[in-house]
Chains A and B, each alone.
Chain A
């Protein structure tokens, strides 16, 4: 079932006026996809999820699940969350603390007046899927964080929802458990092939889990694409720095054309731009640009296109981050070698294909 957001706006009344959480946003989520809403806090990603769940109503626009309109304020249509056949996993898990795990998982089914035998079977099956059969008679208070997380997922899966909504479900787990659960979520989603909307501010989660990622900022869609597209072809400086860790280096530069060839100058350095950036450069109104290059695509050499001095190093184990001062700009380099010292002068090289160009 496809999910459509059409010209969705959402405003909140606050003490100091009206806050725009979403501004005329259009999005289509194809059936069966693991779809990520990514962005910093306040970008509207959770609002998008709440709108799909029916926990919030849009100020304007239409939300459709397949052919069914679930929210359209201009036509006074609003389908209650319980009638949308969606399931949600909350960041806080939101387990019912007074019920044992079995009753927690059975709760959404009991609300549909299913037969008790069927409920028992569905709960057992789901619990087995998540490996929590031995916890069914415990209360949430007696469970560890990871176990609670599984119960929350089981409660969402149990009635085989049409849409699966997840609001930062992994952010309360410790790092090790998070990566294990991430892999398991991916597997579960692929097995059940349920359209999944997943909210996160963590670009690693977005990259590893998503079939597609919608990057949001201040209520607007910045870029929509596969994780690889977002990584390789960021739409703007925000996308370039938000995706990837450490973030992409952006160096202010000015454009120059000479005999049909394009150059970017940074202080005394002149960098020849590849032909593929030509059309993009021609579309710019200003000659002031930002030159983008990812830390992992920079190499330290003796002589390079750029030269600078090392100001700081961060040791990460397998890799190391060098902070460089290049003509007054700070550049990050991520690489394996580590026999370089602070204060040492180095040269920098990079491949043409790794160069990005943005309007300043």
Chain B
């Protein structure tokens, strides 16, 4: 066996191990969702496929699964949108305008983002109760925007810094205001970064559990992660089949989003802007 072949085998083995590590849980989730008996791996059990779990998750009224999914998508979508927009304004200012202490602002933002959410939870609870916002969308969107903002800002700053400064100057000479330069030139040129940031913020908000658990009480605003955690089986036991089916369906919007944006993220939009 020559060295080249060995190398190839090692690469394949590494790739297989990585794939197994990443996709293994997903496969197990899917299999459990499709199995009649969630303990199908145990001794003496067998795998009998069924769609019953999916059916009950999607169509039984009492589960409210589709409502949770809708809540999650709207809340995560709006949070990501607002977060990216505010972060874009901030990133533009930090990369383009002569702001005194711009560097320290970024570091302070980073520092603040390290506060564990759990330390804020009781305050948030009191605040939202006082505002009368408990169990509503804004109760989650507001904290999610604040929570994802540092991340969005840092990513966008790094993307905006790569957009040639001459494009701003050209925009100014061509009669744009600063806001117009951001909207018409910088955002489209940095689109791959903007999409990536939106996706990350969306996934963060979509996965968030603790705040959602504390600030929602029922299907009016409850999100998927909380919904799944509070899933109750018919006879008091843990409904693994339904939980796995729900989790499987939940991955779909995220995967679809990634597939839609993938094209934009990979496309090198800055190509041809300036001679390098």
Contact B189 A92 (CB under 8 A): no
**Residue in contact with A86 in the complex, picked from B173, B269, B275, CB distance below 8 Å:** B173
> Does B103 interact with chain A (Cβ within 8 Å)?
no
Indicate which residue in A95, A98, A145 contacts B191 across the interface (CB closer than 8 Å).
A98
Q: Which residues of A contact B270 (CB under 8 A)?
A: 97
Is B271 a contact partner of A97 (Cβ separation < 8 A)?
Answer: yes
Binds A, one of B41-49, B144-152, B163-171: B163-171
A92: which of B172, B176, B274 is its contact (CB, 8 Å)?
A: B274
**CB under 8 Å from chain A, chain B span 185-244:** 185, 188-189, 191
- CB-CB under 8 A from A107, the residues of chain B are 174
Answer yes or no: B132 CB below 8 A from chain A CBs. Answer: no
Distance from A40 Cβ to chain B, minimum over Cβ atoms (Å): 21
Distance, CA A87 to CA B191, complexed state (A): 27
Residues A140 and B275 in contact, CB atoms below 8 Å apart: no
Q: Are A97 and B269 closer than 8 Å at their CB atoms?
A: yes
CB atoms of B173 and A88 under 8 A apart: yes
Q: Say which size band chain B's interface belongs to.
A: 20 to 34
The total number of A-B Cβ pairs within 8 Å is 85
| Contact, CB under 8 Å: B169 / A94 | yes
Q: Within 8 Å CB of A172, what residues of B?
A: 275
Instruction: Say if the beta carbon of A141 comes within 8 Å of chain B.
Output: yes
- Are A81's CB and B172's CB within 8 A? yes
In contact, A90 and B166 (Cβ under 8 angstroms): yes
- Check if A88 sits within 8 Å of B176, measured CB to CB: no
Report how far A81 CA is from B188 CA in the complex, Å: 22
Query: Does B272 belong to the interface (CB within 8 Å)?
Result: yes
Q: Is the CB of A92 within 8 A of B272?
A: no
How many interface residues does A have (CB within 8 Å)?
33
Q: Is the pair A92, B275 in contact by a Cβ cutoff of 8 Å? A: yes
Instruction: Let me know if B111 is at the binding interface, CB within 8 A.
Output: no
Chain B nearest CB from A208 CB (Å) reads 22
Q: Which of A94, A98, A139, A145 contacts B164 (CB 8 A)?
A: A94
Question: A142 within 8 Å of B by Cβ?
Answer: yes
Q: A152 — nearest CB in chain B belongs to which residue?
A: B170
Q: Which of B237-276 contact A (CB under 8 A)?
A: 269-275
| B175 interface hit (Cβ, 8 Å) | yes
How far in angstroms is the closest Cβ of chain B from A79?
Answer: 12
A90 to B176, CA, bound (A): 17
Give the docked Cα–Cα distance between A201 and B270 (Å).
28
Partner pick for B173 among A55, A95, A139, CB 8 A cutoff: A55
Instruction: Say if the beta carbon of A53 comes within 8 Å of chain B.
Output: yes
Q: Which residue, of A83, A88, A172, has the highest number of chain B Cβ atoms within 10 A?
A: A88
Complex contact A98–B274 (CB within 8 A): no
Quick check: B174 and A93 within 8 Å, CB to CB? no
Residues of B37-73 contacting chain A, CB below 8 A: none
A10 within 8 A of B: no
* Closest chain B residue to A171, Cβ basis: B275
Would you list the 5 A-B pairs with minimal beta carbon distance, nearest first? Answer: A141-B272, A82-B175, A92-B274, A111-B175, A140-B272
| Known A54-B173, A94-B169; 17 more pairs at CB < 8 Å | A53-B169, A80-B172, A81-B175, A82-B174, A82-B177, A90-B169, A90-B274, A92-B164, A94-B170, A95-B273, A96-B167, A96-B273, A97-B273, A98-B191, A111-B175, A112-B175, A139-B272
